[in-house]
Amino acid sequence: MADVDHACVRGDVERLHGALDEAQAASALPDVPAARDALHDLVVRIRLEG
Protein backbone atom coordinates (compact mmCIF):
# COMPACT_ATOMS: atom_id res chain seq x y z
CA MET A 1 0.00 0.00 0.00
CA ALA A 2 3.00 2.29 -0.15
CA ASP A 3 1.93 3.50 -3.61
CA VAL A 4 -1.51 4.72 -2.44
CA ASP A 5 -2.20 8.40 -3.07
CA HIS A 6 -3.57 9.28 0.36
CA ALA A 7 -4.64 12.77 -0.69
CA CYS A 8 -6.65 11.31 -3.58
CA VAL A 9 -8.27 8.71 -1.32
CA ARG A 10 -9.07 11.39 1.28
CA GLY A 11 -10.70 13.50 -1.43
CA ASP A 12 -12.72 10.54 -2.67
CA VAL A 13 -13.92 9.76 0.86
CA GLU A 14 -14.93 13.39 1.46
CA ARG A 15 -16.76 13.52 -1.89
CA LEU A 16 -18.60 10.27 -1.14
CA HIS A 17 -19.55 11.46 2.35
CA GLY A 18 -20.99 14.58 0.71
CA ALA A 19 -23.01 12.45 -1.70
CA LEU A 20 -24.32 10.35 1.21
CA ASP A 21 -25.25 13.46 3.19
CA GLU A 22 -27.16 14.87 0.19
CA ALA A 23 -28.98 11.57 -0.35
CA GLN A 24 -29.92 11.38 3.32
CA ALA A 25 -31.23 14.95 3.28
CA ALA A 26 -33.34 14.22 0.17
CA SER A 27 -34.66 10.90 1.51
CA ALA A 28 -38.25 10.54 2.61
CA LEU A 29 -37.28 7.71 4.94
CA PRO A 30 -37.71 8.36 8.67
CA ASP A 31 -34.59 8.77 10.81
CA VAL A 32 -35.79 5.97 13.09
CA PRO A 33 -37.60 2.84 11.90
CA ALA A 34 -41.28 2.96 12.85
CA ALA A 35 -41.64 -0.80 13.23
CA ARG A 36 -38.47 -1.52 15.21
CA ASP A 37 -40.25 -3.33 18.02
CA ALA A 38 -42.30 -5.44 15.59
CA LEU A 39 -39.17 -6.33 13.63
CA HIS A 40 -37.35 -7.28 16.84
CA ASP A 41 -40.25 -9.52 17.89
CA LEU A 42 -40.28 -11.18 14.45
CA VAL A 43 -36.53 -11.87 14.54
CA VAL A 44 -36.69 -13.28 18.08
CA ARG A 45 -39.67 -15.48 17.20
CA ILE A 46 -37.97 -16.85 14.08
CA ARG A 47 -34.74 -17.56 15.97
CA LEU A 48 -36.61 -19.38 18.73
CA GLU A 49 -38.51 -21.49 16.19
CA GLY A 50 -35.35 -22.41 14.27
Summarised one tens digit per residue, pLDDT across range 1-50 is 679 999 999 999 999 999 999 999 999 998 888 998 999 999 999 999 98
SS3 at position 34: coil
**CA dist list (Å): 41 to 19, 26, 31, 35, 48:** 34, 30, 20, 10, 11
What global pTM score does this model have? 0.56
The candidate with the shortest Cα–Cα distance to 13, out of 24, 21, 2, is: 21
Phi, psi angle pair for 37, to nearest 5°? -65, -40
